Structure 1
Amino acid sequence: MERLLAKVLARIVRRGSLSVVFASGDYAVFGDGSGPPLTVRFTSHAWQRQIVLDPELSFGEAYMEGGMVVEQGDIAEVLALLMAQVGLEVPSASAQFFLRLRFLFRRLAQFNPPERSQKNVAHHYDLDGRLYALFLDADRQYSCAYFETPDQSLDDAQLAKKRHIAAKLLFDRPGLSALDIGCGWGGMGLYLAAHAGAKVTGVTLSQEQHGVARCRAEERGLAGRADFRLQDYRDVEGPFDRIVSVGMFEHVGVGHYEEYFAKVAALMKEDGVALIHSIGRSEGPGITNPWIAKYIFPGGYIPALSEVLPAIEKAGLLVTDIEILRLHYAETLKAWRERFLAHREEVERLYDARFVRMFEFYLASSEMAFRHQGMMVFQVQLAKREGVVPMTRSYIAQGEAALRGMENQNRPGLRLAGE
């Protein structure tokens, strides 16, 4: 099996420089020698066999469990080298078998009735709240930031994301009702309440996020304008002037898209506007990476637009704008990864070294998927009838300018200590 692994690596790694120390002690170098030299070591024959048979699942497991150790460079650099290769060979027969099997059963894996959805959400979002405070921005935005300039800080880029979305939602008068589906820790809803004058209802299935969002609304004096509920979106009653969902659609599951957009349509007023912000895949329908599905986001799936648009049309909704954010999430994930690793000792105290490796692999592999494997983010704006959204996109920049003014106006003044 070691010889087979070496043969596979020789065909895959055509660029770069990857040295591999096999479990037997044998040593080989793959690639054309360009780029920084990287070295990995396998600690057992069993892990080598697993990677050959099912690389999509076992590569991440080997790193997480210590079956593969990066001795020169880091796991992000190793993943970048592997995922950026052009003209990868056809997967082995066993790897193709697992791919076909997973595609065949993907709807079952993404079957997300309310009870299962809550369990899946708890798996990731109900982790110790201190973990997310270590690597997210101050507002705990756990979705793609919007980098207006390459050197923009993560906090400023996350603020720009909220501003950009709010401008697209057309809060052209105060007091509009807004539903935030999958409200997270409340950042988007609190922004709309504070700066767009909206009356916000936010729903989440995470108990941890729900508690934090409610506390933040109280602390900011926005509890009367931002109501956060522990509730499935399917149980919400409307109607609403505006509907927003940021980073939640990835948890819906391909078999529930028609149900999701039918509910959005039912909750939206006739002159309403909705915006769905989601990770997407550029190369057509696929499957969730099995390692991600097992350890990070059970029940999750990143859709292709070709899977989403038919469900929107069937719900009787009009697509009024689509924007594709390409490398914005790669830069977001890079910032998260760097912050996470800067606090790795604190994370290890919260959990253990295995958890640190698992989360590092998740952040690094996700970043490289956006850089090299066709992942992107789409923002789809929806309405029920023509004429609700202006004919040209100039209103977005105008809305952002107005919101920026409100941010400055609402910024709390400086106080002396003890005041």
Structure 2
Amino acid sequence: MNMLLQRIVGKLVRTGNLTVTGPNGRSHRFGDDTGDPVHLLIKTRRAENAITLDPMLALPEAYMDGDVDIVGGDVLGLMRVVFQNLGNGSIDTAWTKALDNLRLAFRRFQQVNTTARAKRNVQRHYDLSGDLYRLFLDTDMQYSCAYFADPDMTLEEAQIAKKAHIAAKMRLRPGQSVLDIGSGWGGLGLYLARTFEAQVLGVTLSTEQHAVATERAQAEGLENRVHFEIRDYRDLVERFDRIVSVGMFEHVGVNHYRTFFDNVAKRLKPDGVMVLHSIGRAGPPASTSAFIRKHIFPGGYIPALSEVLPAIEKAGLMVTDVEILRLHYAETLRHWSLRFQANRDKAKAIYDERFCRMWEFYLAASEAAFRWQDLMVFQIQLSHRNDTLPLTRDYIGKCEKALAMHEMGHRQAKLAAEDKPAAQPAARAQPAAKAGAAQAEAGKIGRRRKVADKE
């Protein structure tokens, strides 16, 4: 290792157990020997010099290129050492501080997400092969934070719980119109149309996601209830009873927050409700990770609440509920990483080794940021009026319980149909009745507004 890099790492890593071997073959140990050991091997002087100048970008790029290997431990372990030490201010070198300040200053220029540029940015990530995402996502292809109401939930169960949690906060009633901004592969829109008989419009800028979502709606026979379009949220003119956006706000860009919420205010009916689900920062505003911005989410930005709430206020909308999901995304990413590793050879057949190393670093570093840095997920509920929703949050839990009963009945009916095909109608009758009753109960919850408002 060159002397400057050795000094930087030595100043950063005060705790943990890190060994770094440089291209000259010499090894240096850092930390206090606590925790699982991690051994980083830097193979080339080119990588060593790049990491010295800009470690947060050059290290993942060198790993992608194979110029750096982790020969003891793994990427998650390495990022744990880095992130747990970053909080102590030990890497406040003049150069690294200058880089951080420069990135913060230029973040608005990096997030000029015009309609055309937003579409290109989305295509860079979401128009990757759908087969890639099927290797590590749940069966419904939910590419956003799951909701682990029970820590022992499977990924599939936690993603169903996420959809139910959001639906309960929307206080959706049968037959209402819903706008899904950033509809992904259609899972949430299909869930709302199927469970609440809602009329759903899902908009996306991804050609790949739109095609999959449309095909799924047709396969389920829901094309009369849910419709997916390739449209920018800024081009909408319709009004809706409910609006939901999950995992899309991270792509709006800080320059466009006022435009986003102004459009939400126009598209939401006077007695409407919106639920916004987005990654956020528990700390103050910061710049996007250079690696993430360059290789994963161009134009993306993770906001602090202090940047979001003023734009909501100026749009004339009322914040009626805020919930912070802390470690839920860390657990989601852990599941994704395990599934990706289990299917790594398949991913390599779709792309190549460099892509797999990039994706490994992306998933592990993201999990580490949610576990040991200030990333979290916020859900903000919005309305025009202060009397649109009940006085307490009890209605959310009641609706979730009803939806859980509905889901249980649906699963029982499916299992019965698979196990006893000859007696299929009889086997489905009772679970379907239970599911119908649960759905009716969810509908009742949605129609109890006057009673709940008086309580």
**What's the TM-score once normalised by structure 1's chain length?**
0.97
Which residue pairs with 1:25 in the alignment?
25
C-alpha deviation, 1:26, in angstroms:
1.1
Q: What amino acid is aligned across from residue 122 of structure 1 in structure 2?
A: Q
Alignment of 1:207-286 (within 5 A): 207-286=207-286
1:210 touches 1:230 (CA, 8 Å); kept in 2?
A: yes
C-alpha deviation, 1:145, in angstroms:
0.3
Most deviating of 365-374 and 51-60? 51-60
SS in 1 for 2:135: helix
Which residue pairs with 2:71 in the alignment?
71
Most deviating of 404-413 and 177-186? 404-413
C-alpha deviation, 1:53, in angstroms:
1.0
Alignment of 1:295-310 (within 5 A): 295-310=295-310
Quote the Cα distance in structure 1 between the aligned partners of 2:77 and 2:309.
36
Quote the Cα distance in structure 1 between the aligned partners of 2:285 and 2:72.
36
User: What percentage of aligned pairs have identical amino acids?
Assistant: 52
Which residue pairs with 1:92 in the alignment?
93
Which residue pairs with 1:148 in the alignment?
149
Quote the Cα distance in structure 2 between the aligned partners of 1:145 and 1:184.
15
Quote the Cα distance in structure 1 between the aligned partners of 2:421 and 2:287.
54
Q: How many residues align?
A: 418
C-alpha deviation, 1:276, in angstroms:
0.3
Q: Deviations over 1:331-390 (max 9, x none)?
A: 000100010011111111111110000000000000000011110000000000111011
Which residue pairs with 1:199 in the alignment?
199
- Gapped regions of structure 2 (runs ≥ 5): 425-455
Most deviating of 37-46 and 262-271? 37-46
Residue 185 of structure 1 pairs with residue 185 of structure 2:
yes
Which residue pairs with 1:382 in the alignment?
382
Q: Deviations over 1:173-213 (max 9, x none)?
A: 31100000000000110110011221100000000000000
Q: Deviations over 1:31-85 (max 9, x none)?
A: 1112222111101112111112111211111111112110111111111121112
Which residue pairs with 2:59 in the alignment?
59
Q: What amino acid is aligned across from residue 146 of structure 1 in structure 2?
A: Y
Quote the Cα distance in structure 2 between the aligned partners of 1:49 and 1:40.
15
Which residue pairs with 2:444 in the alignment?
none
Residue 338 of structure 1 pairs with residue 331 of structure 2:
no
C-alpha deviation, 1:396, in angstroms:
0.2
Quote the Cα distance in structure 1 between the aligned partners of 2:2 and 2:62.
15
SS in 2 for 1:164: helix
RMSD between superposed Cα atoms in Å: 1.4
Which residue pairs with 2:448 in the alignment?
none
Quote the Cα distance in structure 2 between the aligned partners of 1:2 and 1:75.
23
Q: What amino acid is aligned across from residue 253 of structure 1 in structure 2?
A: G
C-alpha deviation, 1:406, in angstroms:
3.1
- Gapped regions of structure 1 (runs ≥ 5): none
Q: What amino acid is aligned across from residue 98 of structure 2 in structure 1?
A: F
Quote the Cα distance in structure 1 between the aligned partners of 2:354 and 2:226.
38
Q: Deviations over 1:102-152 (max 9, x none)?
A: 112111100001110010000000001100000000000000000011111
1:181 touches 1:203 (CA, 8 Å); kept in 2?
A: yes
Quote the Cα distance in structure 1 between the aligned partners of 2:26 and 2:66.
19
SS in 1 for 2:260: helix
SS in 2 for 1:228: strand
Which residue pairs with 1:158 in the alignment?
159
Which residue pairs with 2:103 in the alignment?
102
2:178 touches 2:244 (CA, 8 Å); kept in 1?
A: yes
User: Quick check: which one's helix share is greater?
Assistant: 2
Which residue pairs with 1:116 in the alignment?
117
Higher Cα radius of gyration: 2
Most deviating of 113-122 and 23-32? 23-32
**What's the TM-score once normalised by structure 2's chain length?**
0.90
2:11 touches 2:91 (CA, 8 Å); kept in 1?
A: no
